[in-house]
């Protein structure tokens, strides 16, 4: 039995079958790179964004059809999520975005569209247009936004040149909720300057907003980034693996047990990276976290009662 609510279980509960993400990589940018907000991008973000596969020049539908059968055979998946993953997937002309939605809906077995994007690249006009296409073509299909927050510490958001504030993230979540759109959140628990208290605050914030899922990342350092320059100069303070594990545990303890956890840390290729997961492979770190949860008998949500009114009982 898992110590936390896994994303796989969440999808099984939601769709009643093995469900798997099919990645879509498009030639995109973001307002933090093209000069609208900045040209340097976030301090940690490399030239390929969140995806380390080359962006494709083929269509959305072609990409999904190409990968669907191999994924189905390998993972015994019956249903699928079209996952638009690299850079800012709602930062497009509206007609182009609508076409991407329409193409994904043409692929049999797609039950959800998930768009990785920035909190400041969401608006009601775009949401209404995307939902209208879904309603017309495949009304049973769900729409989810995976919002990059990275940290609830607004001072750190500024220092890493994130280009948006905490308030804009909250507004994006509330707007998505207004339209019945699902919300996933990406967090980095070891940004320079963040603390254990920030890990707890991240969990409290997501719990209060009742998001659907969260994906945790451990910060990796790419060569072509500001963090990469600082790292090579010996000017970047990185926490130990042991400290990262502590923060993951604190985060899970305070997280609403109904929020699914996609990952406990991220993945990145060694090539072009200066620092990835303390030199260990993904599964070694993942399993060390699980072992520590088991050793301490910790489960997700053990310290979630602050939202259930128990802290106010002495005043009632």
pLDDT, residue 38, reads 78
Q: pLDDT tens digits, residue range 130-172?
A: 999 999 999 999 999 999 999 999 999 999 988 899 999 999 9
Helices 241-254 & 196-209, crossing angle to 10 degrees? 30
Query: Under a CB-based contact definition with an 8 Å cutoff, are residues 147 and 117 in contact?
Result: yes
Q: How many residues make up the chain in this entry?
A: 316
Give CA–CA dist 185/160, Å, rounded. Answer: 18
Greater model confidence, 146 or 46 = 146
> What is residue 29's predicted lDDT score, i.e. its pLDDT?
80
Residue 111 neighbours by CB distance under 10 Å:
18
Going by C-alpha positions, the residue among 203, 205, 218 that lies closest to residue 275 is: 218
Distance CA 86, CA 219 (A): 17
pTM of the model: 0.92
Q: In this structure, are residues 226 and 185 in contact, taking their beta carbons and an 8 Å threshold?
A: no
Structure tokens at 93: 């002309």
Q: Which residue has the higher pLDDT, 36 or 218?
A: 218
Q: What is the pLDDT of residue 56?
A: 57
Are 22 and 68 spatial neighbours (Cβ–Cβ below 8 Å)? yes
d(CA 79, CA 84): 16
The string of pLDDT tens digits covering residues 51-108 is 444 545 689 999 999 999 999 999 999 999 999 998 789 889 999 999 999 999 999 9
Q: What share of the chain is helix, strand, coil (3-state, %, to 5)?
A: 45, 15, 40
Give all domains of the chain, ordered by start, each with its CATH number: 7-304 (3.20.20.70)
């Amino acid at each position: 039995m898992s110590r936390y609510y896994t994303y796989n279980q969440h999808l099984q509960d939601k769709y009643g079958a093995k469900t798997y993400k099919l990645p879509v990589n498009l030639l995109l940018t973001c307002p933090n790179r093209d000069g609208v907000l900045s040209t340097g991008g976030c301090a940690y973000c490399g030239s390929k964004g969140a995806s380390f596969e080359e962006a494709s020049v083929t269509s959305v539908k072609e990409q999904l059809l190409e990968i669907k059968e191999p994924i189905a055979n390998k993972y015994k998946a019956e249903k699928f999520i079209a996952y638009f993953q690299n850079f800012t997937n709602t930062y497009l002309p509206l007609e182009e975005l609508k076409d991407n939605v329409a193409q994904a809906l043409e692929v049999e077995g797609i039950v959800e569209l998930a768009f990785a994007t920035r909190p400041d690249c969401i608006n009601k006009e775009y949401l209404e247009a995307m939902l209208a296409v879904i309603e017309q073509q495949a009304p049973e299909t769900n729409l989810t936004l995976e919002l990059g927050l990275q940290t609830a510490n607004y001072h750190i958001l500024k220092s890493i040149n994130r280009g948006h504030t905490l308030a804009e993230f909250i507004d994006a979540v509330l707007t998505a909720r207004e339209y019945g759109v699902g919300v996933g959140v990406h967090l980095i628990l070891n940004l320079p300057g963040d603390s254990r208290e920030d890990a707890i605050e991240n969990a409290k914030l997501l719990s209060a907003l009742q998001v659907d899922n969260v994906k945790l990342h451990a910060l990796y350092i790419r060569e072509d980034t500001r963090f990469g320059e600082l790292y090579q100069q010996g000017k970047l303070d990185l926490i130990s693996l042991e400290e990262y594990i502590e923060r993951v545990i604190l985060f899970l303890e305070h997280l609403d047990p109904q929020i699914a956890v996609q990952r406990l840390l991220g993945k990145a290729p060694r090539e072009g990276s200066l620092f990835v997961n303390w030199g260990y492979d993904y599964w070694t770190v993942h399993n060390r976290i699980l072992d520590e949860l088991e050793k301490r008998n910790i489960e997700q949500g053990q310290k979630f009662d602050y939202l259930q009114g128990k802290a106010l009982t002495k005043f009632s």
